[in-house]
A and B are shown apart, each in its own frame.
Chain A
């Protein structure tokens, strides 16, 4: 009897220690931010480019008032209301809190966000980008729609467990220009691997949802939502008939070189994001993806 009691006490102590460890597990500190003046229109453009509007707006609802479920193997995630509404949105946040949330994936209360929110890619956004996005959100009409809670089962609903995940699997994207390539190629790489976060779907994630170490858009045969994403390497794109112009056309209209129209999540990406982009930026992305060079 005493032995069973001892085992139970040990389990209880170990579990308590585990919870305490997770609670105290450190998160990265706030990165310093330069104070810059934001431009709401540029911020709105970035919100399109980065997919903020696509994920945080469900069909027929007000912009940024909360999104449709993002279904994954770990549960369903709902992008919250990020309008400046005081009660239901992020109206009570400071600019610094907003920046930490977007670039580092940490909420104002110090909780880590699930990596369903692609903050690993937004890590490349500059202080000016953040000021512009903030200005756009401030200029968006507040919506009183309450955010929907994520529907994630145990053990994934233990939010502090994400700290552990972050320690081993988080891979914030860094951007270093390649001076041997053209400005267009470098801009394209920044857009593809940064705000447009193409790799979020077009790279194979590991069983716990971590991104691969190499920067290769080799496609994901087993996406979180059960679908497949094709490779976006230059070789694979060329084999599917994509020229630079055809790729720009696909990102602008959703029509592929063989005259088909994208379905699945790529339809949302095009019609909620890339169709709004400047020709120059689509050109840059195509230049990078097809590994072309203007030099």
Chain B
């Protein structure tokens, strides 16, 4: 038997396996649909990576936050909308035709995701700065919030009459500022938890409008 043929079997099996793994990764989708489904999977991986650290990130989580932020920003905005040529809804795509009927809304979600990704990067850099400027604080657990969770809620916030309380709640949760400084000064860097929450809400709103 020719030696080349001895390797042909395992090579063919390997090629088939790689093909199967690639196809199963995005439900058999190919071309533009496959590419964007892989992009969505990549985004969900970033969300998964952020989930355990978003609420109370420590400076040691800075690199995770920055890496996720870069990937989110890179795959949002035009990088995302370019992968939605009109009418590309063939199976297994979950896209709805409303995307092209309300293209401005769809693009706005993609842009918003990009902006949030960039903002998350800034918050990550802020964590990194704290790690290098105060290594003692970096390993100290955050102080307990001064108010109970119930006390931090108010009528106006619960009824949707004011969004201010939410920002204070998140700032306290991440222990990046105390109540007084949150109320008295405008913070330039929003906490990771608040940005993560907005990213999740943006994805949900887009899915609710444009995904089957």
Residues of A within 8 A of B (CB): 40-41, 44-45, 47-48, 53, 57, 63-64, 136, 139-141, 249, 253-255, 257-265, 267-268, 270-271, 275-276, 278-280
Cα–Cα, bound, A76→B5 (Å): 67
Structural contact, A259 and B51, CB atoms closer than 8 A: yes
Minimum CB distance partner of B201 in chain A: A271
Structural contact, A140 and B159, CB atoms closer than 8 A: yes
Structural contact, B149 and A254, CB atoms closer than 8 A: no
Asked, given contacts A249-B51, A258-B44, A261-B200, whether A63 binds B159 with beta carbons under 8 Å apart, the answer is yes
Q: Which residues of B contact A136 (CB under 8 A)?
A: 155, 159
Count residues of B near A (Cβ-Cβ below 8 Å): 27
Structural contact, A47 and B161, CB atoms closer than 8 A: no
Q: Which residues of B contact A257 (CB under 8 A)?
A: 48
- Cβ-based interface call for B82 (8 A): no
CB proximity of B92 to chain A, nearest CB, Å: 15
Interface string of B144-161 (1 = CB under 8 A from A): 000001100111001111
Structural contact, B158 and A254, CB atoms closer than 8 A: no
Structural contact, B161 and A267, CB atoms closer than 8 A: no
Cα–Cα, bound, A242→B205 (Å): 22
Cα–Cα, bound, A148→B62 (Å): 50
Structural contact, A267 and B149, CB atoms closer than 8 A: no
> Which listed residue, B46, B155, B203, B204, touches A44 by the CB 8 Å rule?
B155
> Which listed residue, A45, A253, A259, touches B153 by the CB 8 Å rule?
A45
Minimum CB distance partner of A265 in chain B: B208
29 A/B residue pairs, CB under 8 Å, sorted by A: A41-B153, A41-B154, A41-B158, A45-B158, A57-B160, A63-B159, A64-B159, A136-B155, A140-B159, A249-B51, A253-B196, A255-B203, A257-B48, A258-B48, A259-B43, A259-B46, A259-B47, A259-B51, A260-B47, A261-B47, A263-B211, A264-B207, A264-B208, A267-B207, A271-B204, A275-B197, A276-B153, A276-B158, A278-B149
Minimum CB distance partner of A260 in chain B: B44
Asked, given contacts A53-B160, A258-B48, whether A41 binds B155 with beta carbons under 8 Å apart, the answer is yes
Minimum CB distance partner of A253 in chain B: B200
Q: By DSSP majority rule, is chain B's interface helix, strand, loop, or mixed?
A: helix
Asked, given contacts A271-B201, A278-B149, whether A63 binds B160 with beta carbons under 8 Å apart, the answer is yes
Structural contact, A262 and B44, CB atoms closer than 8 A: no
Q: Which residues of B contact A141 (CB under 8 A)?
A: 161
- Cβ-based interface call for B45 (8 A): yes
Interface string of B35-62 (1 = CB under 8 A from A): 0000000011111100100000000000
> Which listed residue, A44, A249, A259, A270, touches B158 by the CB 8 Å rule?
A44
Which residues of B (188-212) have their CB < 8 Å from a CB of A? 196-197, 200-201, 203-208, 211
Minimum CB distance partner of B210 in chain A: A263
CB proximity of B14 to chain A, nearest CB, Å: 28
> Which listed residue, A53, A267, A276, touches B204 by the CB 8 Å rule?
A267
> Which listed residue, B46, B153, B154, B201, touches A254 by the CB 8 Å rule?
B201
Minimum CB distance partner of B160 in chain A: A63
A-B pairs with the 5 shortest C-beta distances? A263-B207, A259-B44, A261-B203, A259-B48, A44-B158
Q: Which residues of A contact B207 (CB under 8 A)?
A: 261-264, 267
Minimum CB distance partner of A271 in chain B: B201
Structural contact, B204 and A254, CB atoms closer than 8 A: yes
CB proximity of A50 to chain B, nearest CB, Å: 12
Cα–Cα, bound, A253→B160 (Å): 17
Cα–Cα, bound, A278→B158 (Å): 12
Structural contact, A47 and B48, CB atoms closer than 8 A: no
Cα–Cα, bound, A47→B203 (Å): 25
Structural contact, A47 and B197, CB atoms closer than 8 A: no
Structural contact, A139 and B155, CB atoms closer than 8 A: yes
Q: Which residues of B contact A249 (CB under 8 A)?
A: 51
Most buried by B among A253, A254, A280: A253
Structural contact, B201 and A259, CB atoms closer than 8 A: no
Most buried by B among A40, A141, A261: A261
Q: Which residues of A contact B51 (CB under 8 A)?
A: 249, 253, 255, 259
> Which listed residue, B46, B47, B155, touches A40 by the CB 8 Å rule?
B155
